[in-house]
Amino acid sequence: MAILTDVIVYLCSVLVLSLTGVSSQLDIQFDVQDVVALRKHSAYINCKVSGQDALTGNIIWLKNRKQLDNEDSNIETFPNGTLYFAMARQKAAFSDSGLYQCCLRILNSSSQVCSQDVTFSIAKMPKLSKARINLNYKAGQAVRLTCPTEAAVPRPIITWYRDKKEIIQDDRVVVLSSGVLHLLSLHLDDAGRYRCKAANIAGQRNGPIITLNVTSSTSLARQPVIVSNPKDVRMVAGRHVELECLFEGPSNMNVTWTRTDGQKIRNPTYTGRRNLILQNVIQEDSGNYVCSAQVPGTLTVVSKHANVDIISKCIILFC
């Protein structure tokens, strides 16, 4: 069994030099997907090559930048370009996991045009920490809770519970695509025992119990205070990027996103109080993004930066 993640189409316009010294422009498209397979199950990686010059070469596959061993009986390249695994292997000495590339070796040329890396992974859901966590906060503050699933493949679906009841999201209680839980402007009745559940094709696990204690406060922050900085992101074109930005401060605090180059952010959407989502990113989305918070009527602006790097759509190798 295997699951396919984000579909990525790479559009390549390539200038190649033939063995006779004549150059030509080729238009080729790669349609590839990352794959997560269950250990000891069959799996495959599709590669659809299209475009005006798709028939100008032969399909070969690379793993970690090296051409696959044709003598490996567990792996076969079908005539349509699909790479087939009779059984997904994960052993201490060898694993089929890795970065693969579908390449079109150009006939009568010293070039081959390759898709960007395709990740082939073996599904897993390791046990999560059971250590109990106690947190003490004041009403009005902001809290960020994480589910320790960094080692899970593929990224699991995260569900959060408070006192064994599933949390209902609203503009104050938000679960990001990463599984991070934001609790904004804490109320006294937000206190309780929180726990995450993570699930993917390899199974499901419960996270640690987090006891959140909330006490009343008469003094709230008058200026924005950063709770979580946005992180730098490097992403393949065609996917989604979520930039987290969590402030605490007065309820009338404004949070905005801009780019340092002055360019308008392309088709932005937001979760919670202005976590930024960039959908179907393209190379033009690369840049430095700024999350800023300001209380109306004041001069203080608190800002944090994150760099977004969108990886090029195709790779040209000369051999």
The answer to whether 196 and 159 have CB atoms below 8 angstroms apart is: yes
Q: What angle do CA 15, 16, 22 make, to 5 degrees?
A: 110
Distance (Å, whole) CA 89 – CA 98: 11
Res 52 pLDDT > 90:
no
Using alpha carbons only, how large is the chain's radius of gyration in Å? 24
14 alpha-carbon distance from chain centroid: 28
Res 15 pLDDT > 60:
no
pTM over 0.85: no
Res 127 pLDDT > 60:
yes
* Region 62-75 average pLDDT: 89
Distance (Å, whole) CA 46 – CA 79: 11
Q: Are strands 225-228 and 287-294 parallel, antiparallel or unpaired?
A: unpaired
Look at 22-31, 90-99, 205-214, 229-238 and tell me which has the smallest mean pLDDT. Answer: 22-31
Which letter does DSSP use for residue 226 in this model?
E
Residue 239 phi, psi (nearest 5): -100, -175
pLDDT band at 23 (very low <50, low <70, confident <90, very high): very low
Res 318 pLDDT > 80:
no
Distance (Å, whole) CA 19 – CA 246: 57
Q: Which residues pair with 213 in a beta bridge?
A: 136
Res 16 pLDDT > 60:
no
Please tell me which residue, 219 or 182, carries the higher pLDDT value.
182
Res 293 pLDDT > 80:
yes
Distance (Å, whole) CA 261 – CA 36: 37
